[in-house]
Amino acid sequence: MIVAIESASSDPSLALAEPDGAPIAVEGWSGDSRQGSELVPRLLAMLAACRRDLREASAVAIGIGPGSFTGLRVGMGLAKGIALARGIPIVGVPSLPAWLAAEPDAVAALARAGAQEAFLQRRGDAEPVIVAREELPGVLPPGLAVAPRELATSFFLASTRPPHRAAMAIAAAAAERLARDPAGDDLALLEPAYLRAPRGVAEVSRWR
């Protein structure tokens, strides 16, 4: 069983999937800056509802961002803790492509990159870019976008859907990866793809 965690925004999600990626359960919700505190109780409740046990986990899949610094750190910490405790592989999956995979009719995905900026990944783009709020109308394609509810509200985005099913897409991507590389990622080296330095830090040592 793959345990998948997506916490790059204030709309996190969790999923359980079979080792081949077949869905078992997925749950997403809209929260606030404390969304990370809900991951463990919601994961335990999902396992109980599905009559599954964490000891059945064969791998952990984690959305690596970009997005919320706090959410990414909390989710990565939980994913690494499960992988270390159970001695199972961990797989990092870029968050915004997973948001788009979970919503096939969406043309773009957006995550918060700061008070007045967003990470934008349009369908077909290789990498996300950072866009100021006032620049979004000129670069955001017409149509549905996947975005957290708080970002959609504060950036006045008209047609959006929250990434509540993203964890299932992350589980599916991890299953594909593990079929090719059963070892997954290096537990010690895997880290969030922040793409920019946090406030007060001049630069980051590695960009993805």
110 and 43 within one domain: no
Confidence at residue 111, expressed as pLDDT on a 0 to 100 scale = 97
Domain assignment present for 208: no
* Three-state secondary structure string covering the chain: CEEEEECCCCCCEEEEECCCCCEEEEEECCCCCCHHHHHHHHHHHHHHHCCCCHHHCCEEEEECCCCCHHHHHHHHHHHHHHHHHHCCCEEEECHHHHHHHHCCCCCEEEEEEECCEEEEEECCCCCCEEEEHHHHHHHCCCCCEECCHHHHHHCCCCCEECCCCHHHHHHHHHHHHHHHCCCCECCCCCCCCCCCCCCCCCCCCCCC
pLDDT at 37 (0 to 100): 80
pTM for the whole thing? Answer: 0.92
Same domain, 67 and 150: no
Domain count, the chain: 2
Same domain, 138 and 170: no
Please indicate, yes or no, whether residues 52 and 31 belong to a single structural domain of this protein.
Answer: yes
Question: What pLDDT was estimated at residue 206?
Answer: 40
- Establish if 190 belongs to a structural domain: no
pLDDT (tens digit per residue) in 162-204 = 999 999 999 999 999 999 999 999 999 999 999 876 555 554 4
Is 171 in the same domain as 153?
Answer: no
Q: Convert the pLDDT of each residue in 64-119 to its tens digit.
A: 999 999 999 999 999 999 999 999 999 999 999 999 999 999 999 999 998 899 99
Q: Which domain holds residue 34?
A: 2-96+164-180
Assigned domain for 69 exists: yes
pLDDT for 208: 39
CATH assignment at residue 65? 3.30.420.40
Q: Are residues 113 and 151 in the same domain?
A: yes
Q: What is the pLDDT of residues 133-157, one digit of tens each?
A: 999 999 999 999 999 999 999 999 9
